[in-house]
Amino acid sequence: MAHSLYNPKSELFKAYPEMQALSQEANEAMEGAEETLSEREFAGCDTSWARAHLYEAEWRINCTSDCKAARDAVERLKKALVCTNPPDGLTQDCGGSFAPGTDVFFLKLDRSTDQLLARQWPWRLHPTFLDPINDPGRMVTYLQDLCWSDVVRCGRDNRKELNLAVSVIARLVLQGGQAGYLSGPGFVPVFERFVRDWQDPFTGFFGVTYIIDSHGNEIRTTDLSLTFHMVRYAPHLVRWWPQLIDTLLAIKDQQYPQGWLEKNSKMSDHNNYDVAELFFRGWPYMRPDQRRQASQEVAKMLKWCLEFSVRDTGEVINPDKGDMVMDSYYFAAAFLDTIGYFDTSRRFWAGKGQLPADTEPLRKAMIAQLARFNSDLTVVDDTRERLGAGPRPWSNAIL
């Protein structure tokens, strides 16, 4: 697929060389921040405040052309790292979001995911930060505007914002809103029409349309994460399954987000979970040849997980960079849960005898590892639930 070669970050840096220079200049600070936060997370600290600043700095450097705003974000990150008494993950800002350290709407939305998707809203302040999308027309226009990017002329790649925003909005709308927001009668039909119009009938995938030259020529990406979010959160709206599975298998050797692999052609539990979920959801619609290929690929991913990702002690060997350390434990558990590693009734892809008979020691070991992390973070409960250690205490979110 030729369009998989398109690299919006590379095109953005070519058009705005000052952003590439800033990226190189800030690289040491960004990598240092990641290492520092990982150490703190392993020690059981709540790093929500500094993580939010790191996410904003990364987004501004890699997806926008505003050099001053990006540089300012890096400086705020440095200050957040040395803050002696930072706000925790349950601190609201004046708009009711749980991201008091940023003014960026989609980051506020992302950092408030667990609270927005909980059974109720017991918090002191209502989520008035949702006002910009608290109307069916404004909501769908916001999403439609993010589905395309002209990185050279507009100086912005909308893919990151689209990926984070639609994953929250999809669940929020389909569960009926929260605290009176996104809950009117028009939200569901408008969102469902948006999803149906967005899916590519030729590839079955969801992606971003990029304008690639001054003549208006465009390409449409096959985005693994965007497709996962729609399949996971709105499966009843997904069509063209045979095409989707053909595309999924065709991009297996390509780099994320238009493939399965991270840099240096490495697997990750995060991407493998996304792929496994697509196989699981698409299994009833697959041709026999697709099922054979899918089974072979799941077996390869499982082999990698058990040899290179999760030790017998339940420890994740190399947590993914860019997310909290606990997230890597969640994605490893989610992958194993999705393929039925711990539950024979869920092994949609494998016959009897293809997996170890006793997987209980690893399950217990992974549960035990969670004790080292901050128990106030919902991702810990999410991971415990994936491992069969009890339901999440207060959230009904679809993860």
Per-position DSSP letters for 260-317, written without gaps between them: SB-GGG---HHHHHHHHHHHHHHGGG--HHHHHHHHHHHHHHHHHIIIIIB-TTS-BS
Over residues 302-306, mean pLDDT: 97
Q: Which residues pair with 78 in a beta bridge?
A: none
Residue 327 belongs to what domain range? 260-399
- Residue 197, class by beta-carbon neighbours within 10 Å (0-12 exposed, 13-18 middle, 19+ buried)? exposed
User: Residues of the chain with pLDDT > 70: what percent?
Assistant: 97
Domain count, the chain: 1
Q: Are strands 148-149 and 218-220 parallel, antiparallel or unpaired?
A: unpaired
pLDDT at 220: 96
Cβ-based burial of 155 (10 A; exposed 0-12, middle 13-18, buried ≥19): middle
Nearest to 93 by CA among 52, 59, 138: 52
pLDDT in tens, 150-170: 999 999 999 999 999 999 999
Domain-embedded: residue 351? yes
Residue 229 is predicted with a pLDDT of 98
CB 235 within 8 A of CB 254: no
The predicted-structure confidence for 331-380, as pLDDT tens digits, reads as follows 999 999 999 999 989 999 987 667 777 899 999 999 999 999 998 888 99
For the cut 80, the answer to whether the pLDDT of residue 398 exceeds it is no
Would you say residue 131 lies in a domain? no
Q: Smallest Cα–Cα separation from 53: which of 107, 128, 116?
A: 107
Domain membership flag for residue 297? yes
Q: How far is C-alpha 122 from the chain's CA centre? A: 26
Decide: helix, strand or coil at residue 211: strand
| Structural domain contains residue 385 | yes
Q: Which of 369, 338, 344, 379 is nearest to 359 (CA)?
A: 344
Q: What is the pLDDT of residues 68-127, one digit of tens each?
A: 999 999 999 999 999 999 999 999 999 999 999 999 999 999 999 999 999 889 999 999
Helices (H) and strands (E) in the chain, counts: 17, 3
Q: What pLDDT, on a 0 to 100 scale, did the predictor assign at position 350?
A: 85
Cis omega (within 30 of 0) on the bond before 257?
yes
Both structure tokens of 396:
């009904």
In a domain, 382, yes or no: yes
